[in-house]
Structure 1
Amino acid sequence: MFLRGCGLGACDTANLCNIQPGLLTTNLERFQGPVACAEKIGVPRGSGMFRHALSAVAFRGGEKITARVEHLKSTFTWSDAELRIVVSRGPLMLTRSKESHQRRSEFLVSGVGLEPSYIAHRPVMLGLSLEGQLKPWYYAVKFLKENGLLKRDRDFFSTIVVSEKVFMERFICPHKKTAPHLAEDYATACRGEVSARFSFT
């Protein structure tokens, strides 16, 4: 009844308790803490992300969540407003390790050259695999661009939010003749290795 009052339906509650089964046995007073914490970080009751926010903050304690929020903010040099956008759209970001945030920041900001505000307004990219998607897809598109094989410049976000099938159809398969090693280099990058042809100076 309490969760229904927070805007969660039966399926949301089932999914939440599947991830955090301890919520089923904790007393109601203690359960109200994560709800207040979720609202404090910018995810209101009734929003589509509220279940995910509860999962992210449950049993972690206010001080620990505050520390994670501050670390996320400083790592990407976001303003309070930008941080609120990120957390409200992707609260599970708070469950990632500091090292994970640091690696993503180094790649997206220093490597790709994205502005922190650009990332903040597109937080879905932070949930993608760094080694399995972000890096190999970036390397492949950059290779094409460096070799004059792209007809027009591509926005980074619009490039990485498609399915792998679409990515292959757009950027890998059309260049089998002009870049015969591209498919092999891309597959190698997806395994966490970078070929010499994907090493840019």
Structure 2
Amino acid sequence: MKPDCLREAAKRVEELGIKRNSPMFRHALCLVAFMSKQDVAKKIGVLKTLGFSQHHVSKIVRKAPLVLGASEDRIRRVVDFWMRDVGLELQYIAQRPALIMYSLERRLLPRHRLLNVLRAKRLRNLELNYYTAAMGEKTFVEKFVTPYKDIVPSLAEDYGSGHSSMSGLLVKEC
């Protein structure tokens, strides 16, 4: 990049509330350098239309600036999933903005379905920390699949087979 463009991008990142000494600064710089001011403003506008306050939006951008790189549709669908399907509040999501970055189809829905099966069989507490449930694949399997594979024999198989058969498991088990 030309030095002037880089300085301008760094200024825009600071205007978003991300300090230069923050570990997120370089991530935001890489993103903002290739986004127009209007595109950044549109993403912030999407977060606000979903109900996030200016305080929440600032927190989200400071903690996970890459949210601004996600498509508007993706942001809407993931936040809607967390609020409507899971029942999380905006404040919870704003505190943990990485939740917005996870793939709805590949990570969130299969895990949500699996956890619903465990709840239906009364094997997991209803008061689950969803931030923990969105953890890495290996840890998730160790914590939520492996301990129950003997009690719900098809659980590991269904979860591991592309996650598409989890909906059938839900119908059978609920």
Both proteins in one fold, TM over 0.5: yes
Question: Alignment partner for residue 85 of structure 2, among 84, 102, 111?
Answer: 111
Which residue of 2 is the match for residue 63 of structure 1? Answer: 38
Distance 1:154 1:63 in 2: 38
| 2:17 equivalent to 1:42 | yes
User: What amino acid maps onto 1:50 in structure 2?
Assistant: F
Distance 2:164 2:7 in 1: 43
TM-score by length of 2: 0.88
Identity among equivalent pairs (%): 31
Which residue of 2 is the match for residue 197 of structure 1? Answer: 169
Change (3 A) 1:197 1:116: same
Change (3 A) 1:64 1:177: closer
Distance 1:86 1:43 in 2: 11
Q: C-alpha displacement at 1:160, in angstroms? A: 2.0
Question: Alignment partner for residue 55 of structure 2, among 74, 78, 81?
Answer: 81
Q: C-alpha displacement at 1:186, in angstroms? A: 1.4
Change (3 A) 1:193 1:33: farther
Q: C-alpha displacement at 1:48, in angstroms? A: 0.8
Q: C-alpha displacement at 1:119, in angstroms? A: 0.3
The answer to whether the 8 A contact 2:113-2:167 is kept is no
The 5-angstrom pairing of residues 34-183 of structure 1 reads: 34-75=9-50, 77-150=51-124, 153-161=127-135, 163-183=136-156
Q: C-alpha displacement at 1:138, in angstroms? A: 1.6
The higher radius of gyration belongs to 1
User: What amino acid maps onto 1:166 in structure 2?
Assistant: T
Q: C-alpha displacement at 1:152, in angstroms? A: 6.8
Consecutive unaligned residues in structure 2, runs of 5 or more: none
The answer to whether the 8 A contact 1:143-1:198 is kept is yes
RMSD (Å) for aligned C-alpha atoms = 2.1
Q: C-alpha displacement at 1:192, in angstroms? A: 4.8
TM-score by length of 1: 0.78
Q: C-alpha displacement at 1:44, in angstroms? A: 1.4
Change (3 A) 1:168 1:59: closer
Distance 1:123 1:38 in 2: 18
Count, aligned residues: 173
Q: C-alpha displacement at 1:113, in angstroms? A: 0.8
Distance 2:155 2:144 in 1: 9
